[in-house]
């Protein structure tokens, strides 16, 4: 089923490249993080979430069965709220005329699966590299899997992926208990690498960890990395994980002409980690990943998001010994971690003030230790102005 095509059909008779309203151009669709329509506003991407109306309480506009809300990438991209609402209202107006036909087509193409295949689905895709960007910095995301069996409790992907599963009338299983494996990912990536303009590629555990347990069997991430290695052009590649399985591909990462890799590490306290990320690699194992990357000659990065309780100085010391640069960002909602954040020892850490104060304290601690800190989507070496063919 080509869900992207069905999403774009909601906007008929308009097509990709057509204006939705003056100054806003239809740019595409995505199923990587739920169902989203992509628009360009003054050259900048804007995502509009498409959800079954039964799944959301707040939205900017609605049709009979669908809700629409715009996304501005946290605080990295600004948008006039009135314009955001106008975009959603224009989208909803088109959807009202098309959704009956589109949703009927989705239902007709839906395939009934035996119970044993509802948690791990082997699916195909027609596109994988999704171009995105904030503040004029463009890159591609790459997710060989959708859904994630690591299942971090605060992960915001669970809401959007769950909405997509509802539309497909798949069972609403707990986050961390299902995943789609895009079994032709490496073939699609190889084709796209030959056709698309060169931009950085970002494997990221936000949508689905590239090294969750299924990778040991499917090896989809490995095959995508091999396609990047073997491509005739040099593609800057960023890979993040919460799993020690990445060590299986250490030699392969070292073969990529321009790659950086690392881990998400929200705290130095492994007892805290176990409460919020029970199936992710322990903190000592993640620190060993960073050290191993350095030994292999692969620049190592750490992403601290969200920030969880634990010693700031101890975390800064550990990262200073092993990471070449660090990205820091805050919690974007409690989601499935609400019960943990309700505990007295964690209650304050879910507040916006605590998160920002802790982020500031960690940035200052890392600066004192000489560790570069970045808050953009890409590390400094991948920012515009750097020759894509330059060595690492």
Q: What is the DSSP string of 35-60?
A: SEEEEEETTEEEEEEEEEGGG-S--S
Average pLDDT over residues 101-115: 73
Long-range contacts at 158-162 (CB < 8 A, ≥ 24 apart): 158/335, 158/336, 159/34, 159/55, 159/335, 160/33, 160/34, 160/35, 160/36, 160/49, 160/51, 161/33, 161/34, 161/207, 162/55
**pLDDT per residue as tens digits for the range 229-249:** 999 999 999 999 999 999 999
Contact 33, 157 (CB under 8 A): yes
pLDDT band per the 50, 70, 90 thresholds, residue 335: confident
> Would you place residue 142 in the very low, low, confident or very high pLDDT band (cuts 50, 70, 90)?
very high
pLDDT in tens, 3-61: 788 999 999 999 999 999 999 999 988 877 778 899 988 877 888 999 888 888 889 99
Full DSSP string of 307-338: --SS-HHHHHHHHHHH-SEEEE------GGGH
**Average pLDDT over the chain, rounded to an integer:** 87
Band of residue 333 on the pLDDT scale cut at 50, 70, 90: confident
Question: Out of 163-177, 277-291, 342-356, which region has the weakest mean confidence (pLDDT)?
Answer: 163-177
Residues 69-93, mean pLDDT to the nearest whole number: 81
Two tokens, residue 144 = 């060989």
Q: Is CATH 3.20.20.70 correct for 119-382?
A: yes
For residue 272, which phi and psi values (nearest 5 degrees)? Answer: -65, -45
Which pLDDT band, with edges at 50, 70 and 90, does 386 fall under? very low
At 349 the three-state DSSP class reads helix
Residue-range domain boundaries for the chain: 3-110, 119-382
Question: Average pLDDT in the 264-285 region?
Answer: 94
Res. 117 pLDDT band, cuts 50 70 90: low
Please tell me the predicted confidence (pLDDT) of residue 106: 82
Q: Is the pLDDT of residue 378 over 90?
A: no
Chain segment 56-80, per-residue pLDDT in tens: 888 999 999 999 998 765 455 567 8
Does residue 206 register a pLDDT over 80? no
State the pLDDT at residue 2.
Answer: 73
**Of 138 and 310, which is predicted with more confidence?**
310
- Predicted TM-score of the model (pTM): 0.82
Q: What residues have CB less than 8 Å from 384, skipping those under 6 apart?
A: 136, 137
User: Quick one: pLDDT at residue 392?
Assistant: 38
pLDDT value for 301: 96
pLDDT at 174: 76
Q: Who contacts 328 (Cβ-Cβ below 8 Å, separation ≥6)?
A: 303, 304, 305, 307, 359, 362, 363, 373, 375
Six-digit token string for 260: 């950086």
DSSP, collapsed to helix, strand or coil, labels residue 300 as: strand
């Amino acid at each position: 089923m080509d869900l992207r095509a069905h999403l774009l059909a909601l906007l008929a008779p308009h097509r990709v490249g057509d204006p939705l309203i003056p100054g806003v151009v239809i740019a595409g669709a995505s199923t990587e993080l739920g169902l989203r329509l992509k628009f360009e506003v003054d050259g900048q991407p804007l995502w509009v979430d498409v959800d079954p109306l039964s799944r959301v309480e707040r939205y900017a506009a609605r049709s009979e069965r669908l809700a629409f809300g715009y996304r501005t990438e946290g605080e990295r991209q600004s948008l006039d709220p009135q314009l955001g609402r106008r975009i959603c209202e224009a989208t909803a107006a088109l959807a009202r005329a098309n959704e009956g036909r589109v949703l009927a087509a989705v239902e007709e193409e839906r395939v009934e699966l035996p119970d044993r295949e509802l948690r791990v689905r082997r699916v195909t895709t027609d596109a994988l590299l999704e171009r995105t960007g904030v503040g004029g910095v463009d890159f591609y995301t790459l997710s060989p899997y959708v859904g994630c069996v690591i299942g971090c409790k605060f992960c915001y992907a669970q809401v959007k992926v769950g909405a997509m599963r509802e539309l497909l009338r798949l069972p609403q299983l707990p986050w961390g208990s299902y995943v789609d494996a895009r079994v032709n990912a490496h073939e699609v990536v190889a084709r796209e690498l030959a056709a698309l303009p060169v931009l950085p590629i970002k494997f990221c555990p936000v949508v689905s960890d590239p090294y969750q347990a299924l990778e040991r069997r499917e090896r989809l991430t490995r095959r995508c990395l091999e396609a990047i290695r073997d491509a005739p052009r040099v593609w800057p590649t960023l890979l993040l994980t919460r799993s020690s399985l990445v060590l299986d591909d250490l030699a392969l990462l070292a073969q990529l002409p321009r790659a950086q890799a690392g881990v998400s590490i929200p705290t130095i306290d492994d007892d805290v980690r176990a409460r919020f990320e029970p199936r992710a690699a322990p903190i000592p194992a993640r620190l060993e990943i960073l050290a191993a990357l350095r030994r292999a000659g692969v620049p190592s990065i750490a992403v601290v998001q969200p920030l969880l309780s634990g010693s700031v100085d101890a975390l800064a010391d550990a990262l200073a010994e092993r990471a070449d640069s660090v990205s820091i960002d805050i919690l974007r909602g409690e989601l499935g971690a609400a019960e943990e954040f309700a505990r007295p020892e964690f209650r304050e850490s879910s507040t916006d003030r605590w998160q920002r104060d802790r982020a500031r304290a960690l940035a200052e601690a890392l600066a004192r230790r000489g560790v570069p800190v970045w808050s953009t989507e890409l590390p400094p070496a991948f920012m515009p102005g750097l020759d894509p063919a330059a060595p690492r």
